[in-house]
Amino acid sequence: MARKSLIQREKKRQKLEQKYHFIRLSARKEIRSARKDISKSREEKQEIHGKIESIPRNSAPIRLHRRCFLTGRSRANYRDFGLSGHILREMVLASLLPGAKRSSW
């Protein structure tokens, strides 16, 4: 079982990512248009970059981790099931997941 503080921190990051998602997208669009537009001055480009830097780091989607649905474990997590490896194996051995084949490794 993962520590409760880590799970809560991950939930906080998810909320921040949703909150700043559209602000981040609009700033990215501005940066792309500024790169294409030669007439923009260097100060205007720095101002646009300042907008992105003012957004909290924890709101970046790259900082999010997938976690096991049952235990909260962040490692060995399978996207298809949303479970960590050892929980997935236990459920397959107990025949709780239809269509999954058992293996004995």
Task: Give 26-58 pLDDT, tens digit per residue.
Answer: 988 888 888 777 777 778 888 888 888 898 999
Residues 53-101 pLDDT 10s: 898 999 998 988 888 888 888 888 988 888 999 898 888 888 888 888 7
- 5 plus 53 within the same structural domain: yes
- 4 plus 52 within the same structural domain: yes
Token pair of 28, please?
Answer: 């990215």
Give the pLDDT score at 105: 61
Percentage above 70 pLDDT, the chain:
97
Give the pLDDT score at 13: 93
- Alpha carbons within 13 angstroms on the beta-carbon side of residue 27 total 17
Query: Is the C-alpha dihedral spanning 69, 75, 78, 84 positive or negative?
Result: negative
- 70 plus 54 within the same structural domain: no
- 59 plus 88 within the same structural domain: no
Q: Report the 10 Å Cβ neighbour count for 72.
A: 16
Number of domains into which the chain is organized: 2
- 27 plus 37 within the same structural domain: yes
